[in-house]
């Protein structure tokens, strides 16, 4: 049976939108504690989201972060059907709440970190004011606080921040040829505008955030229970801040002393 002369096929092809993915990056020296592994196994991921895990082992932490970001962006260059939406850094001595990533993801901020503390006997939150301005203190647990810098160990960063810093700031490259978004500076002599000289020591996180702030981005630290993390010392088998670590182990609660009275978190994970 023959077909009629009026038969026709009308096909229109529209270019599809690239599928976004989240890159989770872990810089590590290679040995991690079982406590860290357990937290990773329990980490909840954003629903209906493509996730790429990137591990860099054995590098200085700033160079490791550079490689992680470069690999995330290279993936979209190799496959135009994909586009990196954000990078989430997890350091291997930071113990996350299972909902940490979900909470940070929900905020939709260009740069947002969870809260954790330095490994010191006196509590020092890794939420920093401008140069030599000390740590942030005038906040109540649960608030979002604007800072000049913060630790990078549980930080979610929109990939467009990395693209803009790479393209609009003179960051150069690191020893392996990756864009030097992160750079650790130790004992570098520099001159101030007034002619005085100081010795500069700068961690890789502050270096990157300085570039980001120059482009108008405001780093944020979320101090809620879901985004609080323990800074864990595997050799001493203790977490920081130590007072709250001891309380959590004995009662399952965390109490914060604030100017407005104690804030208690029940049944913390």
pLDDT score recorded for residue 17: 80
Give a yes or no: residue 222 inside a domain: yes
How many domains in the chain? 1
Kindly list the distances between the CA atom of residue 178 and the CA atoms of 13, 163, 203, in Å, as whole numbers in the listed order.
37, 13, 18
pLDDT score recorded for residue 3: 62
pLDDT score recorded for residue 240: 97
Give a yes or no: residue 191 inside a domain: no
Q: Could you report the per-residue pLDDT of 48-72, keeping only the tens digit for each?
A: 999 999 999 999 999 999 999 999 9
Give a yes or no: residue 142 inside a domain: yes
Give a yes or no: residue 250 inside a domain: yes
Task: State mean pLDDT over 32-59.
Answer: 96
Could you tell me the pLDDT band of residue 221, with boundaries at 50, 70 and 90? Answer: very high
pLDDT score recorded for residue 268: 78
The token duo for 126 is 């890794």
Residue 190: is its pLDDT beyond 80?
no
Task: State mean pLDDT over 239-264.
Answer: 93
| Torsion angles phi and psi, residue 64, rounded to 5 | -65, -40
pLDDT score recorded for residue 201: 59
> How many Cβ atoms sit within 10 Å of the Cβ of residue 243?
14
Where in the sequence is the domain holding 55, given as residue range(s)?
19-181+217-265
Give a yes or no: residue 13 inside a domain: no
Q: How far is Cα of residue 36 from the mean position of the Cα atoms in its chain?
A: 16
Residue 191: is its pLDDT beyond 70?
no
pLDDT score recorded for residue 132: 61
pLDDT score recorded for residue 139: 84
3-state secondary structure string, the chain? CCCCCCCCCCCCCCCCCCEEEEEEEEEECCCCCHHHHHHHHHCCCCCCCEEEEEEEECCCHHHHHHHHHHHHHHHHHHCCCEEEEEEEEECCCEECCCCHHHHHHHHCCCEEEEECECCCCCCCECEECCCCCCECCCCCCCCEEECCEECCCEEEEEHHHHHHHHHHCCCCECCCCCECCCCCEEEEEEECCCCCEEEEEECHHHHHHHHHHHCCCCCEEECCHHHECEEEECCCCEEECHHHHHHHHHHCCEEECCCCCCEEECCCC
Give a yes or no: residue 205 inside a domain: no
Q: How far apart are CA 41 and CA 6, in angstroms?
A: 61
Q: Are 113 and 150 in contact (CB under 8 A)?
A: yes
Residue 196: is its pLDDT beyond 90?
no
Residue 5: is its pLDDT beyond 60?
yes
Give a yes or no: residue 198 inside a domain: no
Q: Are 233 and 239 in contact (CB under 8 A)?
A: yes
Q: Domain with 230 in it: what CATH number?
A: 3.90.550.40
- Please give the mean pLDDT across all residues of the chain: 90
What sign does the dihedral 142-146-147-149 (CA atoms) show?
positive
Give the rounded percent of residues in the chain with a pLDDT score beyond 70.
89
pLDDT score recorded for residue 189: 47
Q: How far is Cα of residue 158 from the mean position of the Cα atoms in its chain?
A: 10
Q: Could you report the per-residue pLDDT of 138-189, keeping only the tens digit for each?
A: 788 999 999 999 999 999 999 999 999 999 999 999 999 999 999 998 755 4
Give a yes or no: residue 258 inside a domain: yes
> How many Cβ atoms sit within 10 Å of the Cβ of residue 224?
19
Q: Could you report the per-residue pLDDT of 103-135, keeping only the tens digit for each?
A: 999 999 999 999 999 999 999 999 988 766 677
């Amino acid at each position: 049976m023959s077909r009629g002369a009026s038969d026709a096929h009308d096909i229109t092809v529209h270019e599809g939108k690239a599928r976004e993915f989240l890159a989770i990056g872990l810089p590590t020296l290679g040995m991690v504690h079982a406590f860290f592994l357990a937290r990773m196994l329990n980490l909840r991921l954003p629903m209906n989201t493509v996730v790429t895990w990137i591990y860099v082992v054995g590098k200085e932490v700033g160079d490791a972060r550079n490689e992680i970001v470069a690999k995330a962006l290279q993936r979209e260059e190799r496959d135009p059907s994909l586009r990196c939406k954000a990078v989430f850094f997890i350091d291997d001595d930071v113990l996350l709440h299972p909902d940490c990533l979900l909470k940070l993801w929900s905020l939709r901020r260009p740069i947002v970190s969870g809260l954790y503390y330095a490994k010191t006997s006196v509590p020092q939150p890794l939420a920093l004011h401008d140069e030599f301005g000390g740590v942030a203190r005038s906040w109540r647990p649960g608030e979002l606080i604007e800072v000049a810098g913060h630790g990078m160990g549980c930080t979610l960063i929109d990939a467009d921040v990395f693209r803009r810093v790479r393209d609009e700031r003179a960051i150069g490259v690191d020893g392996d040829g990756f864009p030097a978004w992160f750079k650790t500076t130790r004992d570098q002599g520099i001159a101030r505008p007034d002619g005085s000289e100081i010795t500069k020591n700068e961690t890789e996180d502050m270096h990157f955030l300085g570039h980001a702030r120059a482009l108008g981005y405001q780093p944020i630290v979320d101090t809620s229970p879901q985004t609080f993390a323990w800074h864990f010392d595997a050799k001493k088998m203790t977490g920081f801040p130590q007072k709250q670590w001891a309380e959590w182990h004995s009662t399952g609660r965390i109490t914060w002393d604030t100017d407005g009275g104690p804030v208690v978190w029940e049944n913390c994970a």
